[in-house]
Structure 1
Amino acid sequence: MASLTERILRLKEKSRNAEVWIDPERAQIITDFYSENAGKYSIPVLRARSFKNLMEKKELYLGDEELIVGERGRAPKLIPTFPEIACHSIKDLKVLNSQNRIPYNVSPKTIKIYEKKVIPYWDGAALRDRMFNQLSDEWQTIYNCGLITETMEQRAPGSMALDERMFGMGLKKAKQEIEEAIKNLDFLNDFEAIDKREQLTAMAITCDGMMIYAKRYADMLEKKSSEETNKKRKKEFEKMADVCRNVPANKPRDLWEVLQMSWFMHIGVITESNGWDACNPGHVDRHFFPYYKKSLETGQLDEESAKELLCAWWIKYNNHPAPAKYGVSALESGTYNDFVNISLGGITTDGKDAVNDLSYIFLEILDEIEFIQPQVHVLLSRMNPEHFLKEACKVIRKGRGFPAMFNAEAVIEQQLRVGKTISDARGGGICGCVETTCYGKEAAPLIGYINIAKILELTLQNGFDTRTKKQVGPKTGNVKDFNSYEELMEAFKKQARYIIDTKLVGSQYLIQMFAKYVPQPFLSVLIEGCVESGKDYNDGGPKYNVSILPGVGIGTVTDSLSAIKKHVFDESTYSMGEVIEALNADWQKSEEMRLTFANKTPRYGNDNDYADSIMREVSDFFIDTVDGIKDSRGGTYRMNMLPTTCHMYFGEVTGATCDGRRAGKPLSEGISPVQGADLCGPTASLKSAAKMDHSRTCGTLLNMKFLPDVLKGDIGIHKLASLIRTYFTYGGHHIQFNVCDAKTLQLAQKTPEDYNDLIVRVAGYSDYFNAIGKDLQDEIIQRYAHEA
């Protein structure tokens, strides 16, 4: 297909070069509305009316040559804040403005607005302020010492993906269904009927708000058309106005309308609240294909103009960096990437190969536009053609870390295990980084991360944290008195149970607070089950609900336990007393021991059952402990193994470990082996990782790095495709690749201005190498590059 048009090249350049600024508009409008209306309505209706008021008043943006309209802020990369959830202080804003690598510019005018209006109203009243005052001392302790993080401490529950349901009805029909649901409420026998009425009323109001927003654009575009002298642009304005008259109120009629409707849905969700992982558009190749085909068959578009339209839609995602974070969340996830993830390939709901012409076109666009978002992954099924896999491998070979590859059959199996129908499981896929979810039918938020490596550190210190000088966990015994490895493992599990229980008690409370005070009625319209149940997305409304707890550092823990088992209990080379002394001194006087532990220990990632069996025992324990615990939304908790960049933050707060790692250094990321420990080649690495029971998780992350020469030519592509197929045959969930050499990355550190477009795979996402901190750059360089 034709390469990028001149228009798309200009839109791409404009989006790439736009600076990120904090936009106070939303905060102002929301604050004014709450000041005048808080207490007049139920909380769901108040939220819905504030959303409608915002969509009536927010400034409309229309960029030169744009074909798809709508922005969260007043212009591309102007990022709103959400003070009702977490209100930034003046100090926070100044810190954001001063950050070197990922600054959020803050103008003096914005500072003044916060000082005079936003902070006086929300300080102490924001949800974060109210929540933190109620969390237990035990929760605060494990949070502050780095055993856990909490995603809901400043952003709303996210990890949602949409399906094709709304394209078949539009918001007018959705509103009619909501009104019918209100009429059918049983106020005599259903004691929740009044609450359901308020939730449903709120959903209906947000439908109006979104349709008003689209109508405002239609009016604006008609006015632009009447003033435009360029015939081609005038015709485009006329078409865009017609599009906005029809969607999202009604179902789309062609490709242009389905793209604009998809984008309006996205804008609505991310403007209403600041959920993690933004709003994933789902299986865009299969959802958009009928409209693409119709537009070509009717002659409305040719292949070149259709691709241009798809590119214009694609670029819009890059205009929306993640909402500004602060505190621990900024440390564990320092990136502009908001983790929007689109899915290609896989299996249709009726069990057929889902690859179509758009699947290939989206791979082309991904390759040519070279943005860090939207992220793209391939759901690879045994049904998908080998040609499609190899085309994806050609993009991977470029070295930007995408597309990530996921095992479609494993994703389906994970969902069937927890009771989803086969049709719904096939319609599901990946959200955020690697999280398995059912598109359009499920709430599957991450609830924060757990530091598995630091739990072992607590175990070795009898529950005491040497960094904060506090007794954090239970006293599980002085390890110097342990006579067996089994005693150590049992103590480790006791510490882990305490951390998990304390974490989940806090999560239960936070989930309830969001359900009560920050419902998301517009998002609830889009997710199946909410209207039927009369409940909000945050309150168990969706057809399916799961809360996902990611574990971090499985490789570090495995190798550390392997070293203790071998050198202390099996061979008696060292005593536990000597080990603890060495760790407390950060190996300063025990280099020989450190090298022995690092280099003469069976290490995970080498298809060695001694180490891999430890990994399996630890992962099984965490899955068994968390799996199926009921959450307060009526769903269940599940484990996954995803770091984002939390392995960096957790590494900073974790002391020296028995794999030879020094204090403060990064932990292993995802289910990847410890950086540089996988010495037996890529196949051995994959066989080790596949020994985890992926089907019992909600996702795992495996990172692999290759030198570019390995993947040259058709033979290189064949090898990569075979490697992916092999891992998935073993049952693996996910694999992603960095294709680069350490020399290039080191040069990029020294002369960053020469490598502005260098993209690398970080964790479950890609980012510009220059945008990430030096510690994370060093960690990526340290990952072992396979030569064959």
Structure 2
Amino acid sequence: MAAELKPFQMELKPERTPRIESLYQYITSFKPGICIERAFYLTESYKKNMHLPVMVRRAKAIANVLDNMTIYILPGSLLAGNQASKPRWAPLFPEFDVEWMENEIIKGNPFYPWERPADKYDFDQGKTGELKAILDWWKGQTHTDRLRGRLPREALITHFDIKAVDIGAYFQGGDGHYSPDHKWLFEHGLQYIIDQCEDYLSKLDWSAPDSILKKDFYESAIISCKAVIRFAHRYAELAERLASEEKDETRRQELLRMAEICRRVPQYPARTFHEALQFMYFIHLCIQIEDNGAGISIGRYDQIMWDIYQKDLHEGRLTREQALELTENFYLQIYTLNKIRSWGDTDYFRGVPMFQNLTIGGQDPKTKSDSTNELSYIALEATANTRVPQPSLTVRFHRKTPLEFKIKVAEVIRLGMGLPSVFNDEVYIPALINRGYEIDDAYNYCIIGCVEPGVSGLLGGRTGGAWLNLTKILEMSLYNGRDPRTGITLHPNKNGKDLSTFSSFEEVKEAYLDQLVYYLTMEAILENTIDQCWEEYLEEPIAAIFGCPTTTIPRGKPLKKGGAKYDFTGQQTIGIANVANSLYAIKKLIFDDKVLTGAQLLHALETNFQDMTTNPTGPEIKAMCLNVPKYGNDIDEVDFIARDMLAYVANSLNKFKNTRYGRGPIGCIFHCSTSTVSSNTPFGKVCGATPDGRDAWTPVADGQSPMRGTDKKGPTAAIASVSKLNNILLSCGSLFNLKFVPEDLR
């Protein structure tokens, strides 16, 4: 019989071995900082190789970084590998954008990184001159420079001025948002990829029109694999040197074993659990060094590692306790990785999230039976013991998930870390099948980034995308397409009316949906232009050969040229609760009960509910708006507005194609999620007062959660409201934040 839940657990101390405790204390003693080594060695290589094909040039640049960057082994760690010159320091990626780096790191505008109000980063100011020289070389030839030159005026205004769509993460950063095929990789080794690519290269049909592009791909893949192998060998040499100086015999033997492992993997297949973990970490690390995209995710850890874990147990090389300690060591190594965003973009990603998601639980893709195993529990225990926010632990539940496992998940959640997140197979699998996933692949999904489902080794990135500010779009529809904050009108309402002149609720909806389609079009323009620039100037060989090796290598195509099996462009819709509540308030107050006119409500919004001279006064109108029933209380009339408006977004997005359409992958359309991170706060800063009673410039609702303070009937009613949404349409992911104060869990 399953154990009962333990008492409220936030006060429970983690159970760490001396090694893990020492590692934890060492890693957390470092403040986040900025490392310029990657930027220096990348730029050094680019200066020498501008004549080379784009992909080969990039392969050589990353190889130069891996060959020359500072390396170290964390004290007591059983795994090798570092991303920057110190733990928790962030490398710089000047090839994407240097404007924000110059403004903030050099000029302190709006803040120096070490003086930020939040998410601060240290910087060795003695390296300012060196950094400035790097930034000066990149000016005029960054990803952002190209986007500014190629995007139409309306799309630039949408992003930079109105903020109906924000895609700053992909101006300043790369693709990310995929999960490598770790099991295939550590079962084959990088030498196998080198041999494959050399074979394909030798058999190229030079009369074929794509032969030159395939040559570039295979050459860059070979350069990259050899560089990663040399990178691992550098750690082998370092471990041997440290072992020769080590006085503690136990640690000396550990270092010698580490050297042996790093000489084998990732060049050759992993033979043990320890080797497989080291292999995975090298792959994960090199992807992070190549590109500053977020959401590089581990995949289904308990399934990837299960066979080799069982083999080691059976052959006596490993105990459960050792597997747990190695997993915790792996988690802490993942936590050392860091990236820095501009202050403006940081608003959308508070807390320095890396979205390195690790999935456990769920179902077997062949048998469709429960796949929970002992590694599922080990992964949970590792999160409970390390108490670090990365990797982001995700659990898949389904109808036959064992109760004992659910209890263990609940206990870890009760620690108060916000981990693990829980995802429902009964919703996610049909959503993926609805988008064209083969059934076995859909059953094998992991979570990538925040909430986005995909299959390790088969999905070509970009599960995340632009932030769509639904609240802003609704606001503009009430002003005949004008943004009241900036005064800009890009698209007047098709019916030419505003809130003071709408004659029916249908006209209100018509105006909103008209604005929505216009700004979805702007989003598609932004997304596809970014992808086109990536394809032309920043194709990434490491992402291609590690992300989707079973498709990119046979096709001779990187991800942005159609190398993946599945390819979708994702996006995030923000503020659906505000839209539903506002539309229902307009319907109820103006057209059903007729207690206000549209002109009265519009004036109240323009004056942020502050005008005391009107009858009713601004505060009285605000009270009326707040008292109208709200989404999140299991009230069909308002919940169905949320359902229908979100479904309209999802179905409208599907009509847009991405740049890989017709080039090989399944999908190649846009699809919708309700992921938010912290973007609801900066989006609220550009939105005036809204008919749901929300004050101007305050945060909007997150995800598909009710607007804070408006769900008054408890968590069950809130869940009932959310369950009415057409989540099958949200194949890019559903986010519902349900939070309890600690006292509620005692």
Instruction: Tell me the TM-score normalised to structure 1 length.
Output: 0.88
Residues 645-689 of structure 1: CA distance to partner in whole angstroms, max 9, x if unpaired?
Answer: 110010000000111100011101000011011112222111111
Residues 301-380 of structure 1: pairs in structure 2 closer than 5 A: 301-321=318-338, 323-326=339-342, 328-350=344-366, 351-380=368-397
Q: Partner of 1:458 in structure 2?
A: 476
Q: Which amino acid aligns with 1:148?
A: V
Taking the TM superposition and a 5 Å limit, the aligned residue runs for 1:105-184 are 105-115=122-132, 117-143=133-159, 144-150=161-167, 151-163=169-181, 164-184=183-203
Aligned to 2:722: 689
Deviation for aligned residue 1:628: 4.4
**2:396 alignment partner, SS class:** strand
Q: Is the 8 A contact 1:67 1:309 kept in 2?
A: yes
Tell me the CA shift for residue 209 of structure 1.
Answer: 0.6
Structure 2 residue 693 is matched with structure 1 residue 674: no
- The answer to whether the 8 A contact 1:149-1:328 is kept is no
- Counterpart of 2:120, as a letter, is P
Residue 737 of structure 1 is matched in structure 2 by none
Residue equivalent to 1:431: 448
Alpha-carbon deviation of 1:304?
2.5
Match of 1:472, SS state, is coil
Partner residue in 1 for 2:42: 30
Please name the residue that 1:419 is paired with: 436
CA deviation string 1:351-405 (max 9, x = no partner): 2321111111111111121111111010112232111011101111222211110
Residues 480-629 of structure 1 aligned to structure 2 (within 5 Å): 480-528=500-548, 529-589=551-611, 590-599=618-627, 601-629=628-656
* Matched residue, 1:749: none
Query: Contact (CA 8 Å) 2:328, 2:383: kept in 1 or not?
Result: no
Provide the C-alpha distance between the structure 1 equivalents of 2:398 and 2:554, rounded to a whole number of angstroms: 33
SS of equivalent to 2:696: coil
Which residue type is aligned with residue 59 of structure 2? A
CA distance in 1, matches of 2:557, 2:655: 22
Please point out which of 696, 700, 704 is paired with 2:734: 700
Deviation at 1:471, TM superposition (A): 1.4
Q: Distance in 2 between matches of 1:230 and 1:705?
A: 47
- CA shift for structure 1 position 306: 2.5
Query: Contact 1:443–1:537 (CA<8 Å) still a contact in 2?
Result: yes
Q: Which residue of 1 aligns with 2:4?
A: none
Q: Tell me how far apart the structure 1 counterparts of residues 56 and 621 of structure 2 sit (CA, whole Å).
A: 64
2:149 & 2:123 partners in 1: Cα distance? 29
Q: Match of 2:76, SS? A: coil
Q: Distance in 2 between matches of 1:308 and 1:317?
A: 14
Q: Give the Cα separation in 2 of the matches to 1:408 and 1:264.
A: 30
Partner of 2:76: 65
Matched residue, 1:212: 230
Q: Which amino acid aligns with 1:432?
A: G
Deviations 1:410-439 (CA, angstroms, capped at 9, x unpaired): 222122112121221122121111111122
How many residue pairs get aligned? The number is 706
d(CA) in 1 for partners of 2:643, 2:313: 52
CA distance in 2, matches of 1:182, 1:538: 20
Deviates more, 1:672-681 or 1:533-542: 533-542
2:240 counterpart (213, 222, 228): 222
Give the C-alpha shift of residue 327 in structure 1.
5.4
In structure 2, distance between residues paired with 1:383 and 1:184: 49
Letter aligned with residue 571 of structure 2: L
Aligned to 1:632, which of 659, 672, 681? 659
What SS does the corresponding residue of 1:464 show, helix, strand or coil? coil
Q: In 1, Cα distance between the equivalents of 2:432 and 2:198?
A: 32
Q: Name the CA shift for 1:464/1:609 in 2 (closer, same or farther; >3 Å).
A: same
**Preserved CA contact (<8 Å) 1:157 1:538:** no
Q: Secondary structure at the match of 1:703?
A: coil
- 2:375 maps to a residue whose letter is L
What is the alpha-carbon distance in structure 2 between the residues aligned to residue 473 and residue 8 of structure 1?
57
Note the C-alpha offset of 1:109. 2.2
> Aligned partner of 2:645: which letter?
V
The 3 A distance-change label for structure 1 pair 174 and 383 is farther
Distance 1:273 1:434, change over 3 A: same
Q: 1:183 to 1:424 in 2, by over 3 A?
A: farther
Structure 2 distance, partners of 1:661, 1:207, is 53
Q: Which position in structure 2 is the counterpart of 1:716?
A: none
**Contact 1:90 1:111 survives alignment (8 Å):** no
Give the drift of 1:709: 4.3
Query: Which stretch of the first structure deviates more once superposed, 408-417 or 23-32?
Result: 408-417
Q: Aligned to 1:390, which of 407, 411, 428?
A: 407
SS at match of 2:419: coil
Gaps of 5+ in 2: 1-13, 612-617, 662-667
8 Å Cα contact 1:347/1:383 also seen in 2: no
What is the CA–CA distance in structure 2 between the aligned matches of 1:302 and 1:507, rounded to whole Å? 48
Q: Which residue of 2 aligns with 1:748?
A: none
Show the counterpart of 2:303.
286
Q: What CA distance in whole angstroms lies between the structure 2 residues aligned with 1:152 and 1:185?
A: 34
Letter matched to residue 581 of structure 2:
D
- Equivalent pairs: percent with the same residue? 29
Looking at structure 2, the residues matched to 612 and 236 of structure 1 have their Cα atoms a distance apart, in angstroms, of: 59
Moved more, 684-693 or 346-355: 346-355
Q: Could you say which residue in structure 1 is the equivalent of 2:3?
A: none
State the AA in 1 paired with 2:440: S
1:623 alignment partner AA: A
- What is the CA–CA distance in structure 1 between the aligned matches of 2:492 and 2:523, rounded to whole Å? 15
Q: Unaligned 5+ residue runs, structure 1?
A: 713-788
The residue number in structure 2 matching 1:662 is 695
Q: Is the 8 A contact 1:411 1:429 kept in 2?
A: no
* Equivalences for residues 238-253 of structure 1 within 5 A: 238-253=256-271
Flag as ranges the 4+ runs of structure 1 deviating above 4 A.
none
Q: Do 2:43 and 2:61's aligned partners in 1 also have CA atoms closer than 8 Å?
A: no
- The answer to whether the Cα contact below 8 Å between 2:146 and 2:533 also exists between their aligned partners in 1 is no
CA RMSD for the aligned pairs?
1.6
Q: Mean Cα displacement is larger for which, 227-236 or 19-28?
A: 227-236
Asked whether 1:478 is paired with 2:488, we answer no
SS across alignment from 1:547: strand
1:146/1:451 contact within 8 Å kept: yes
Map Cα deviations across residues 240-299 of structure 1 (whole Å, 9 max, x no partner).
01111111011111111011001000111010111122x211111111122222333333
Q: What SS is found at the alignment partner of 2:347?
A: helix
Conserved in 1, the CA contact under 8 Å of 2:524 and 2:656? no
Aligned twin of 2:278: 260
Return 285-294 or 11-20, whichever deviates more: 285-294
